[in-house]
Amino acid sequence: MFRTALRNVLAHKARLLMTVLAVMLGVAFVSGTLVFTSTISDAYQKSSQKGYDHVDVAVQPHHRGGDEGNPGAAPKLTQGLLDKVAAVPGAASATGSVGGFAAIADKHGKLIGEGFSSSGANYYPGPGGKDARYPMKSGRAPHGAGEIALDAKTADRAGYKVGDTVRISVDGPVLSQRVTGIFSTEDGNVSAGGSLALFDTPTAQKLYGKPGEFSQIDVKAAAGTSQAALKSGIDKVLPKDAESVTGKELADDEARIIAQSMDGMRTSLLVFAGISLFVGIFIIANTFTMLVAQRTKELALMRAVGASRRQVTRSVLIEAFVVGAVAGVAGLVAGIGIGAGLRSLIGSTGSSIPDGPLVIAPSTILTALGVGIVVTMLAAWLPGRRAAKIPPVAAMNSVHAVATTKSLVVRNSIGGALTALGAAVVLTASSSTMLGLGAAVVMIGVFVLTPLLSRPVIAAAAPVMRLFGISGKLARQNAVRNPRRTAATASALMIGLTLITGLTVIAGSVQQAIDEMATGSLKADYVVSMASMTSLSTDVEKKLAGHPDVTATSPLRTSPARIGGEHQSLTGVNGAAIGELTRLEFTAGGIAGLSGDKVVIDDATSRSNHWKLGSSLDVTFEDGKKGRLTVSGIYKGNDLMRGVWVDTKTLAPHQSLVDDKQVMVKTKSGASEATKDSLRKALGDNPAIQIQTKQDISNGIAKGINLLLNMLYGLLAMAVIVAVLGVVNTLAMSVFERQQEIGMLRAIGLDRKGIKRMVRLESLVISLFGGVMGVGLGVFFGWAAGDLISKALNTYELVLPWGRMGIFLLLAALVGVLAALWPARRAAKLNMLSAIKAE
Amino acid sequence: MTTSPYGVQTAARPTAVAARATGLSKVYGQGETRVVALDAVSVEFRQSEFTAIMGPSGSGKSTLMHCMAGLDSVSGGSATIGDTELTTLNDKKLTRLRRDKIGFIFQAFNLLPTLTALENITLPMDIAGRKPDRQWLDMVVDTVGLSGRLKHRPNQLSGGQQQRVAVARALAGKPEIMFADEPTGNLDSRSGAEVLGFLRNSVRELGQTVVMVTHDPVAASYADRVVFLADGRIVDEMREPTADAVLDRMKRFDAKGRTS
């Protein structure tokens, strides 16, 4: 049996080529994902372990489970504590560190790198006068308020040398610092493309915390002292609001976090790999169906001479096994290449990953082969079963029974029921899981229905096809000749396009919604904030308010509080100006004259707490003082503008640290580049502060969403490529099966061009059929998801991306044209005589 | 020669040559595998004549037809259809010639299953983008007796009916010459006789020219003339053949084949 199957595989090499390629691509995606994620995971693990080489025990403030309601209780890691810890028996040295955000300006005053990865820290000289974490490559360590050291990568990037003056900013005001040294570091943030500036310890403490305090104390054990022993020694001298952790625990924690984030990335990549493989299933099934149909006589003969049904099925499955194994091996090799390629690709974009060897886990190899074989055999199972049903008598008949219409009736009923069920689930879905599940059922239902749908949809193309004369007419009819095959081919393309369209619709609508939310309720011309999303010093608002062009400003501050016993943050705004800076829709009362004990609240807060206009609220402020506030307005909130708003003058006395999340600014001359520059100058050309117009905010949102969408497009492209292979495969099969017809057409006078056109148009029709269905379903899912999304995003409204939908249909057409290149040429080259004689 | 009741022009010059081969050679392969399929064959097919080409397997009868009909390339000599020399035509012109001047009937019917009988009949004209001559078409359809089945698809027709559709397709374009390759090979004797009758009628009544390759003496007996081929050469010719006479002539090939 095995030998027969193997011979069959070898005999049909060319016809199995597309199938092998399709499976191979899917497997390559899977194994590429596995290789890539395990490689970078391994690299990060190793680099994080290295990062904790200097730490045997770390002393940190005690984590109180995020209880922000009780500030003032922050632990103090003082120099005194550090000295005490350093004196613990078994401790070789102790290093105090303190750090945070530090924006560094390049020579043009622009921020280097991204806000979130720009950091600053202290240089803590050890016993030898040097900080082992930061070996200097040139110059010396910073000393005193006006000096800093820069990491070598950043210095290199901006072209700074020792002796240069660099403008940096930590929380608002710009500092001009002299670079005294350039150091190398194994800091993970820096190796991932961030920047690091070092100050001497007193300067860093002043900039980041309170003088004389550290945010962490790292202790190095003396030789022969274990981390655990050192920890228990240290624990004896620690105050109760501080805790100690061993270096191993820290490294393990980080390793776990890395593993978790890698798991997430791996899972999402594998989902897309799964989609590609699923699409591949259609191609495999098509191919094996054809191979079985062509071999009907042979299989019937096997049955006639005594092979059992099971043996016939098994022979088909063995063939599938061989195909799957070959494709699995090829896919694994390609996947290893993809994994290596991805790593160097990401390396070349600047955000470098730590170096490390390419990791090919045994599980990766097993998964790749297993996936290839299982998917192929699974897809070949139905054709195999059908092969077993061939009656022995078919060996004697010249014509074998074609698929009856009866089975299509059953098929259509099942398809209709599935589609209806899925659509019902989609339309009533209350969670994204339900929606996804329903969508999957609809897809399967529609797929089952495609043979039925193919006739009317393709018939609708008749008027266009007529323009192409007889080639068009024949192409249209050929496309519906084998509805199952056409359906499977078109469905393969449909799946990719459905997802692409659905995501585009949702992303476009979400973008519009977020945009509306971010800018719709904003009257201010500018929003000023820190690039790092940390807080702004209140100086910034003062400076802005003093600018001659500025007519109104308001900060946005938050302060934890309790109202009626419940946690409820208070948002501080400039009550006198906020009305000019925001465009809020009030359902009761208003924002005018927000001062004293007056507050405005959003409608959701109003509903959930049963607070009405005029309600009196008992408040416990951040500092524990009690007070009473009165609701003077209820506005329609959204994700950015919500909560309880109160005048800053009422809030400020109770806050331990007064700082601003952002400052809204209105100017006389409105939003313009010139005004923006002038505001930037007023703030001292600060690299850490971003001044955004509404347009900037919109652009930022669009950029983020487009980036995400482009990534998804990239991942789904694989599914489309596999679908293209499917179209090529189907056309090659059709050309092969219709050799005789093509020969006859050539004989009675259809030229090569006409033959080519016929094959190309058939391809176009099938692809566009898949395209139309995909775009249609995608829009349906996008629309259906709207209900669910608008619950979380109340400004959500369906936006149909007509332009992109057009592009997707063009893409489908392009797929058709490209896929037909080779089969059309083959058809035109067929030798007329052998084509006529072939039986 | 009976004058066509439809006044077809060929009646005016009944001895004109529709197709001619002069020293036509066809060689396959090279060196030791070299096979001479046609060895300098010269033959004429006159207008309004029904010619059968006969010969044992491998005699080159099909090759001769393929070369004469512009389906296969020629190694030497010349082949003309009317005044057109085929050997100098490129693929495009050859295709056009086949489309406009030649009708084909194949052993395996070769109809398109997606088209109705009528659509199959008008296919050559559809390819050319020409409107069929309605009157001629109706007459052809009547002649082959398909009037009631024009909307049927090939798989709803019997073998004989399918071959009649093929005959109608070949006739519909008013070709200068029709080539039939074993047209009765896949038919039972009754259907075969019908198809041969139509071919003869198309010559006698419509003034068509038919060249038919066959190995069936009964089929050959419908022709006006039989040309015998053996080993790539024309070895004999017979006018007004009968089945018995053709069979006798063929038996001599067999005897020779066995002794050699």
The tens digit of pLDDT for each residue in A263-272 reads: 888 888 898 8
pLDDT band at A397 (very low <50, low <70, confident <90, very high): low
A504 and A562 in a single domain? The answer is no
Q: Closest CB to A833: pick one of B72, B100, B126.
A: B72
B123 contacts A470? CB cut-off 8 A: yes
pLDDT band at A324 (very low <50, low <70, confident <90, very high): very high
User: Which ranges of A352-431 would DSSP assign to H, the alpha helix?
Assistant: 362-388, 405-428
Nearest CA to B195 among B235, B174, B222?
B222
Residue range A382-391, pLDDT digits in tens: 888 888 888 8
In a domain, A556, yes or no: yes
Domain span at residue A493? 454-521+695-839
A143 and A247 in a single domain? The answer is yes
Cα of A734 to nearest chain B Cα, Å: 14
In a domain, B133, yes or no: yes
CB A426 within 8 A of CB A781: yes
Q: Which two tokens stand for residue A643?
A: 């909560």
A123 and A248 in a single domain? The answer is yes
In a domain, A751, yes or no: yes
A99 and A236 in a single domain? The answer is yes
B chain contacts of residue A405, beta-carbon cutoff 8 Å: none
Interface of chain B toward chain A, CB-CB under 8 angstroms: 66, 69, 71-72, 91-92, 95-96, 98-100, 104, 106, 108, 110, 112-115, 123-124, 126-129, 169
Domain span at residue B249? 48-63+90-259
B127 contacts A754? CB cut-off 8 A: yes
B chain contacts of residue A470, beta-carbon cutoff 8 Å: 123, 126-127, 129
In a domain, A373, yes or no: no
Nearest CA to A444 among A465, A423, A466?
A423
Q: Closest CB to B127: pick one of A478, A740, A749.
A: A749
Nearest CA to A158 among A190, A101, A113?
A113
A668 and A777 in a single domain? The answer is no
CB A620 within 8 A of CB A626: yes
Interface of chain A toward chain B, CB-CB under 8 angstroms: 469-470, 473-474, 477-478, 481, 740-741, 743-752, 754, 832-833, 836, 839
A682 and A804 in a single domain? The answer is no
A839 contacts B91? CB cut-off 8 A: no
A663 and A700 in a single domain? The answer is no
pLDDT band at B177 (very low <50, low <70, confident <90, very high): very high
A chain contacts of residue B90, beta-carbon cutoff 8 Å: none
CB B154 within 8 A of CB B162: yes
For B169, which residue in chain A has the nearest alpha carbon?
A748
CB A95 within 8 A of CB A134: no
In a domain, A333, yes or no: no
Q: What type of residue sits at position A122?
A: N
In a domain, A386, yes or no: no
CATH of the domain at B230: 3.40.50.300
Euclidean distance between CA atoms B213 and B62, whole angstroms: 6
A238 and A92 in a single domain? The answer is yes
In a domain, B135, yes or no: yes
A86 and A116 in a single domain? The answer is yes
Is the pTM here over 0.90, yes or no? no
Mutate to test the interface with B, among A399, A748, A765 (most CBs of B within 10 A): A748
User: Domain ends where: A256, A273, A306?
Assistant: A256
A750 contacts B110? CB cut-off 8 A: no
Mean pLDDT, chain A, integer? 84
Cα of A798 to nearest chain B Cα, Å: 43
Q: Using DSSP, state whether B209 is helix, strand or coil.
A: coil
- pLDDT tops 80 at residue A350: no
Identify the pLDDT of residue A690: 86
A614 and A591 in a single domain? The answer is yes
Identify the pLDDT of residue A514: 84
For A477, which residue in chain B has the nearest alpha carbon?
B114
A chain contacts of residue B96, beta-carbon cutoff 8 Å: 749, 751
- Could you count the other beta carbons within 10 Å of the beta carbon of residue A249? 15
As a whole number, mean pLDDT of residues A375-395 equals 85
Q: Give the number of domains in chain A.
A: 3
As a whole number, mean pLDDT of residues A734-743 equals 88
In a domain, B144, yes or no: yes
B71 contacts A833? CB cut-off 8 A: yes
In a domain, B43, yes or no: no
A chain contacts of residue B66, beta-carbon cutoff 8 Å: 833
- pLDDT tops 70 at residue B10: no
In a domain, B72, yes or no: no
Residue range A134-180, pLDDT digits in tens: 888 888 889 888 899 998 888 888 889 898 888 888 876 788 889 99
In a domain, A467, yes or no: yes
In a domain, A71, yes or no: yes
pLDDT band at A822 (very low <50, low <70, confident <90, very high): very high
pLDDT band at A106 (very low <50, low <70, confident <90, very high): confident
**Residues contacting residue A42 through CB under 8 Å, at least 6 positions apart:** A356, A357, A359
B chain contacts of residue A752, beta-carbon cutoff 8 Å: 91-92, 95
Cα of B245 to nearest chain A Cα, Å: 30
Cα of B241 to nearest chain A Cα, Å: 29
pLDDT > 70 fraction of chain A, expressed in percent and rounded = 94
Identify the pLDDT of residue A669: 84
A745 contacts B124? CB cut-off 8 A: no
Number of inter-chain CB pairs under 8 A, A vs B: 68
For A838, which residue in chain B has the nearest alpha carbon?
B108
A603-to-A458, A600, A630, A642, B55 alpha-carbon distances in Å? 52, 10, 15, 9, 99
Q: Give the number of domains in chain B.
A: 1
Cα of A745 to nearest chain B Cα, Å: 8
B106 contacts A748? CB cut-off 8 A: no
Q: Closest CB to A748: pick one of B91, B115, B124.
A: B124
Euclidean distance between CA atoms A481 and A761, whole angstroms: 14
Residue range A755-788, pLDDT digits in tens: 999 999 999 999 999 999 999 999 999 888 887 8
Residue range A626-652, pLDDT digits in tens: 888 899 999 988 777 888 999 988 888
Considering all CA atoms of chain B, what is the largest pairwise distance in Å, rounded to the nearest integer?
56
Residue range B180-227, pLDDT digits in tens: 999 988 888 888 998 999 899 889 988 899 999 998 999 999 999 999
- pLDDT tops 70 at residue A395: no
A chain contacts of residue B167, beta-carbon cutoff 8 Å: none
A543 and A680 in a single domain? The answer is yes
For A749, which residue in chain B has the nearest alpha carbon?
B99
A108 and A183 in a single domain? The answer is yes
pLDDT > 90 fraction of chain A, expressed in percent and rounded = 18
Cα of A834 to nearest chain B Cα, Å: 11
